[in-house]
Each structure stands twice: as structure tokens, then as C-alpha cells.
């Protein structure tokens, strides 16, 4: 397959000036990303500060028009973007992967453009009236992850631009090319300084967190890094939206038909080869259906095509980087050493490439094992047996993280009652990890705070102003 390179040529730099970015599947160099410094960050923030008043003055209607034009641009370049994303991140073109992610960039950009945000009348009586209006904050910094680099960048960039802010983006060091390519398309329609990508290292990320001229920081990544951002941003009092790690629990209630939930359950666990913050990470199954659920999941895992992302038909890919591969392997090895049963997988797949790990279902494991207590972020699901629903809820809530959760049952009313008791920002019924651009999304506990998407997401990148008369 020939990979289109026009956008890639526009964003890469000569080898002597940049950092080599490998293909996740083959480890061959795709291109060279610029290496920006704290000085480059300072220049980008200064340019964003200077550009913001004029951008804000355009008004909502014009900014929305521009965002829709950007969505058209993304749509027109979708296949080129998907092929670059597949190579850099590793996710296949097919299935809920690279083409899906690029399509989501278009959908979320249009949603940010078209979602209405009118002043809210909060009091009116006796000739008095109070309204809440929403103004631009100023400069927003967006720090993104490597697992869904384009889509999550759009989640941060598009609402910020719609509300009249300018944006400085720092992509993950593992996937800078995807974000640079996305910004290249945005900047075909934006004034200079409104959107800048700073492709730097952790030093640049740390400088963002403490920068005095940044008004808002949006971060998706680990809980540990989120805590450091909170500490560093105290001096500037920058507003924060933090979407941090998740160890999402699912509970399968008694009486559930494993075949009826099989496909949704599988993709809840294994979407993006498990490299998703809101993927299902630990599954509690009632004893009455435990063996059937385990076998159903294992059968799907063993039969699902895995391989190089550019090869049509594959829907599972490699781990994106060596560090994550080592984490996954270590957690499975620890589970095996504890006596857990590896039903399928449980080992690397070196014939596919250096960072491939077979989709793995682990049974006869319990809380206290590292694979249950820690976020694996890979193609592995531990399945834990339970006999009492109250106990399953207690165990699901025992984690200090609370991004998502799910309940699985043919009795939707019973599932909803259990969902009300789970401590998570989103609880899905008979699905897991499905998102909607107008439905708020965010975590609780150590999974962060603040919401994205829809009206809530627009308000999160705006300053509320009450006008009383």
C-alpha cells in the first residue's frame, strides 16, 4: 500500500534537526518531528496572547463557520490522516481504530461549532433579572496523550477555539506527527498565532503547567502527571480540566446471556488494543454465568485479527511503545505467578512485530493481584468471579479511580439501580466506553475532574459572567 505523504512532508523536519518517530508496528522511522524548547513554548504563548483578542472579536457565528470549514478539510484528508495515525500510533485502519478516530475528529469539530450556548436566565422577578454569560478565558494549553492523539486533541482544541480562546498544544512525545498533521489542517483556516503545536519533551510540559500567561490547562494522561500539574499550576491559578487514568470496572449480573452482550463486552475491553483510559479494565461476573462469559470472551479474543495497521482486515494492533509493552507483559506474568488461569493469549506475538501482545483473557484471579488493582492499558482483561451483587459493587468502588464503569444485564432497570451505586463519572448499561459529542464526559476521584463535550465542555473553556439588572 502506498502511503500518501503530502501532509507528512509539510510537518516533518530534516533528520539532523528532529527526533526520529518510529512506526509502532515495524519500528522503522516514519519521519522526524521538530524538537521544540521552553523558549519555543514562550514564543507560542506570546503569539497566542497577542492573537486572542482579534480571534475572540470574530464572534461565535464566524468562529463556528471556520470550525466547520476545518471539519471539511479533515474529511477531505481523512485517508491520509488515518494512514499516518495507523503507522505512528499502531492502531489498524479498520474497525474502531484509525479511520474511526479521524472520523471522530470531524464529528467533534462540528459539534463544537454547532452546539448552542445561550445566556442563562437564573433569576427574574419584580423587574430584576440575572443572566449568566460565558466569555473567553484567553490562552488554553492542551496536553494530549498517545493513545487517541488526534481525537483527544480535537476534544481540547475545538471547544476552546469556539469559545474565543487561542490554543497551544503539546502532543505526546510518542505521537507528535499525528497532532502536527491535524494542526496543519486547522491552520489552513486560522489566523496566525491562534493554534500552535509545541512538540517538546517533559520539560516543556512542566513549563506549561507553571506558565503565568496560560489561563486554562486541559490534560489527558496519567494520574501521577495530573497531580504534578495541579501542584505546578497553583502559582498562576490556571483553570484545569484533567482526564486522568481509569481502572474501569464492569459487573455482569446474574441471568445475563453471554452471547447477547459478547460483541459490546469484547470491544469495551479491547478497543484500541486496550489502550484507552475508559476501556473496561476489570470484569466482575456472577458465578452463575462466569464460565460462559469467560469462554465467550476468550473465543472472540482468539479469533480477532491482529497485525500491522496498514494491512486491511486487522482490528487489533501493537502496543504503542516499549514501556507500555513491558507493563502489560509484567502484569500478565505476575497474574500467572499468582496462579491465575490464562484462558487465551498471555504472551507476546513476535512473529507480528516487536511490540505485539496476544489478546489475553485471565480467569480465576481476584482483587489484590496487580492485574486487577493496576491499570494494564493493553489487550488483557482479568475476569473476577462474584456471588453477591453488593460485594461486586463494593469491590468495583474500592479503586481510587473512577473514570467509567458498566453494568451488563437483560434487566435494564436492575442494571440502572446498580449503576447508581457505582462511583464513576460515566456508567454504561450493556456497553462500555461509547462516547457522544453532546453528552458530558469526565472522571471522579483520582481519575480527574472537569467535563468535556457538549454544553458542559464549552462552559469548561469559558469564564462565567453574571449580569444582574
Q: What is the pLDDT of residues 145-194, one digit of tens each?
A: 999 999 999 999 999 999 999 999 999 999 999 999 999 999 999 999 99
Tell me the C-alpha distance between 103 and 98, whole Å: 9
Strands, E assignment, 332-376: 341-344, 360-363
For the CA atoms of 460, 436, 108, 451, the dihedral, rounded to the nearest 10 degrees, stands at: 10
Among candidate residues 80, 88, 105, 277, the one labeled active-site is 277
Report the 10 Å Cβ neighbour count for 382. Answer: 27
Is 374 marked active-site? Answer: no
Is 243 marked active-site? Answer: yes
- In DSSP terms, which residues pair with 140 in a beta bridge? 167, 216
Q: What is the residue-averaged pLDDT of the chain?
A: 97
**pLDDT at residue 6 in the model:** 86
- In DSSP terms, which residues pair with 341 in a beta bridge? 363
Q: What is the mean pLDDT of residues 17-37?
A: 97
- Classify burial at 404, counting beta carbons within 10 Å of its beta carbon; exposed 0-12, middle 13-18, buried 19 or more: buried
Among candidate residues 173, 184, 243, 452, the one labeled active-site is 243
Percent of the chain with pLDDT over 90: 99
- In DSSP terms, which residues pair with 360 in a beta bridge? 380
- pLDDT(366) > 50: yes
The verdict on pTM exceeding 0.75 is yes
Cell of 368: 489484590
Reported confidence tier of residue 3, pLDDT bands at 50, 70, 90: very low
Tell me the C-alpha distance between 108 and 130, whole Å: 32
Reported confidence tier of residue 5, pLDDT bands at 50, 70, 90: low
Residue 432 to residues 80, 205, 246, 265, Cα–Cα distance (Å): 29, 31, 13, 7
**pLDDT at residue 258 in the model:** 97
Q: What is the mean pLDDT of residues 234-245?
A: 96
Reported confidence tier of residue 1, pLDDT bands at 50, 70, 90: very low
Reference 163, options 106, 116, 103; nearest CA is: 116
Sign of the dihedral defined by the CA atoms of residues 13, 15, 17, 22, in that order: positive
**Residue 276's Cα: distance from chain center in Å?**
6
Give the ranges where 304-347 is alpha helix by DSSP (H). 322-337
Amino acid at each position: 500500500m502506498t502511503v500518501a505523504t503530502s501532509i507528512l512532508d509539510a510537518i516533518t523536519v530534516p533528520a539532523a534537526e528532529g527526533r526520529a518517530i518510529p512506526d509502532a508496528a515495524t519500528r522503522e522511522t516514519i519521519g522526524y518531528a521538530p524538537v521544540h524548547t521552553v523558549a519555543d513554548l514562550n514564543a507560542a504563548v506570546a503569539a497566542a496572547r497577542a492573537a486572542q483578542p482579534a480571534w475572540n472579536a470574530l464572534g461565535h457565528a464566524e468562529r463556528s463557520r471556520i470550525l466547520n470549514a476545518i471539519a471539511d478539510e479533515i474529511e477531505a484528508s481523512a485517508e491520509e490522516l488515518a494512514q499516518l495515525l495507523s503507522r505512528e500510533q499502531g492502531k489498524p485502519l479498520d474497525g474502531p481504530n484509525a479511520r474511526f478516530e479521524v472520523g471522530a475528529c470531524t464529528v467533534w469539530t462540528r459539534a463544537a461549532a454547532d452546539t448552542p450556548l445561550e445566556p442563562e436566565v437564573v433569576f427574574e422577578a419584580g423587574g430584576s433579572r440575572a443572566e449568566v454569560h460565558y466569555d473567553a478565558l484567553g490562552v488554553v494549553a492542551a496536553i494530549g496523550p498517545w493513545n487517541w492523539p488526534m481525537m483527544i486533541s480535537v476534544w481540547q482544541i475545538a471547544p476552546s477555539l469556539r469559545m474565543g480562546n487561542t490554543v497551544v498544544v503539546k502532543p505526546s512525545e510518542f505521537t507528535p506527527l499525528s497532532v502536527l498533521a491535524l494542526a496543519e489542517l486547522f491552520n489552513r483556516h486560522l489566523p496566525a498565532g491562534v493554534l500552535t503545536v509545541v512538540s517538546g519533551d517533559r520539560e516543556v510540559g512542566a513549563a506549561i503547567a507553571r506558565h503565568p500567561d496560560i489561563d486554562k490547562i486541559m490534560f489527558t494522561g496519567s494520574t501521577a502527571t495530573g497531580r504534578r500539574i495541579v501542584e505546578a499550576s497553583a502559582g498562576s491559578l490556571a483553570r484545569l480540566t484533567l482526564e486522568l487514568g481509569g481502572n474501569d470496572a464492569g459487573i455482569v449480573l446474574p441471568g445475563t446471556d453471554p452471547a447477547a452482550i459478547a460483541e459490546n463486552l469484547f470491544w469495551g475491553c479491547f478497543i484500541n488494543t486496550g489502550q484507552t483510559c475508559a476501556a473496561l479494565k476489570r470484569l466482575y461476573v456472577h458465578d452463575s454465568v462466569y464460565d460462559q462469559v469467560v469462554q465467550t470472551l476468550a473465543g472472540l479474543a482468539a479469533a480477532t485479527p491482529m497485525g500491522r495497521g496498514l494491512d486491511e482486515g486487522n482490528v487489533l494492533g501493537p502496543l504503542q511503545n516499549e514501556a507500555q509493552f513491558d507493563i502489560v507483559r509484567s502484569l500478565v506474568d505476575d497474574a500467572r505467578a499468582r496462579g491465575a488461569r490464562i484462558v487465551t493469549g498471555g504472551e507476546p506475538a513476535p512473529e507480528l512485530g516487536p511490540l505485539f501482545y496476544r489478546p489475553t483473557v485471565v480467569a480465576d484471579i481476584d482483587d489484590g493481584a496487580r492485574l486487577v488493582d493496576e491499570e494494564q492499558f493493553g489487550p488483557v482483561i482479568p475476569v473476577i468471579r462474584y456471588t453477591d451483587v453488593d460485594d461486586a459493587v463494593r469491590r468495583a468502588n474500592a479503586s481510587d479511580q473512577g473514570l467509567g464503569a458498566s453494568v451488563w444485564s437483560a434487566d435494564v432497570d436492575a442494571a440502572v439501580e446498580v449503576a447508581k451505586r457505582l462511583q464513576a463519572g460515566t456508567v454504561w448499561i450493556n456497553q462500555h466506553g461509547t462516547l457522544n459529542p453532546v453528552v458530558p464526559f469526565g472522571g471522579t476521584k483520582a481519575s480527574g475532574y472537569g467535563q468535556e463535550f457538549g454544553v458542559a465542555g464549552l462552559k469548561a473553556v469559558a469564564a462565567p459572567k453574571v449580569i444582574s439588572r
